[in-house]
């Protein structure tokens, strides 16, 4: 029996590059996977990639819609009975205009995609974990940009800083209930989209999704049982 055998892991953004890598990393460890994403077709691709390695089921939902997320988590609980690990992988990045030229829609898009999605999943999952005597682990994805603002990236930096602060607050609130909450701070992730956007960059200095997935698995493991409220930098060589 492995450490993660029969562990129920909820992964948001499961149709994306990092979400798929995290799903695969948990799949080979014998987990039950609940895969959340708006892209139902992408979820199915992730399930195919995990075939035969884990019990995986997709739950299509809009992560910025509270009721949609609550409905998906309710389905997860009906299907698996509990949530042991929540990996909030969903998120995204866009360059923006100068702060003084930033429209409400620019601000709302980044805050919803990166911060509200975390809030929406944690609100129903934490009560479920509190009912589970084994507690739980929550891993969020912030970014290096959360701790150093950059020009034309104000909404993105602020949204990722919100993720970091939410992580610290939830860790403080739940530390006595065996619920550990941590986040990772990736540098530039080596994805096809980033390569296309920055074709002259040195890709070998970027962070492979599989390397980030390893850190997520570590934070979900018993080896990290005394780690909570941490922001783990994973910058690669960039």
Q: Give the long-range contacts of residues 59-66, CB within 8 A, separation 24 or more.
A: 59/34, 59/35, 60/36, 61/36, 61/37, 62/38, 63/12, 63/13, 63/36, 63/37, 63/38, 63/90, 63/116, 63/117, 63/120, 63/121, 64/112, 64/113, 64/116, 64/117, 64/120, 65/120, 66/120, 66/123
Nearest of 212, 238, 186, 157 to residue 18 by alpha carbon: 212
Annotated catalytic residue within 4, 93, 156, 206: 156
CA atoms within 13 A on the CB side of 167: 31
Does the annotation mark 156 as catalytic? yes
Phi, psi at residue 7, to the nearest 5°?
-70, 135
The catalytic residues are 156
């Amino acid at each position: 029996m492995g450490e993660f055998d029969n562990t129920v892991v909820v992964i948001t953004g499961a149709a994306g590059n990092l979400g798929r890598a995290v799903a695969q990393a948990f799949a080979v460890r014998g987990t039950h996977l609940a895969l959340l994403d708006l892209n139902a077709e992408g979820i199915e691709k992730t399930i195919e990639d995990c075939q035969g390695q884990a019990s995986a089921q997709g739950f299509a939902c809009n992560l910025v819609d509270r009721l949609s997320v609550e409905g998906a988590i309710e389905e997860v609980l009906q299907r698996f009975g509990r949530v042991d690990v929540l990996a909030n992988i969903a998120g995204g990045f866009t360059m923006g205009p100068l702060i003084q030229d930033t429209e409400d829609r620019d601000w709302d898009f980044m805050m919803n995609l990166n911060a509200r999605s975390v809030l929406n999943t944690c609100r129903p999952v934490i009560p479920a974990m509190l009912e589970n005597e084994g507690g739980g682990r929550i891993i969020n994805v912030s970014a290096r940009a959360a701790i150093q603002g950059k020009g034309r990236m104000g909404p993105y930096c602020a949204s990722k800083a919100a993720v970091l602060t939410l992580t610290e607050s939830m860790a403080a609130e739940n530390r006595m209930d065996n619920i550990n909450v941590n986040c990772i701070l990736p540098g530039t992730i080596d994805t096809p989209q980033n390569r296309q956007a920055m074709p002259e960059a040195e890709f070998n200095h970027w962070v492979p999704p599989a390397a980030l997935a390893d850190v997520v698995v570590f934070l979900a493991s018993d080896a990290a049982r005394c780690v909570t409220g941490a922001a783990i930098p994973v910058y690669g060589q960039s």
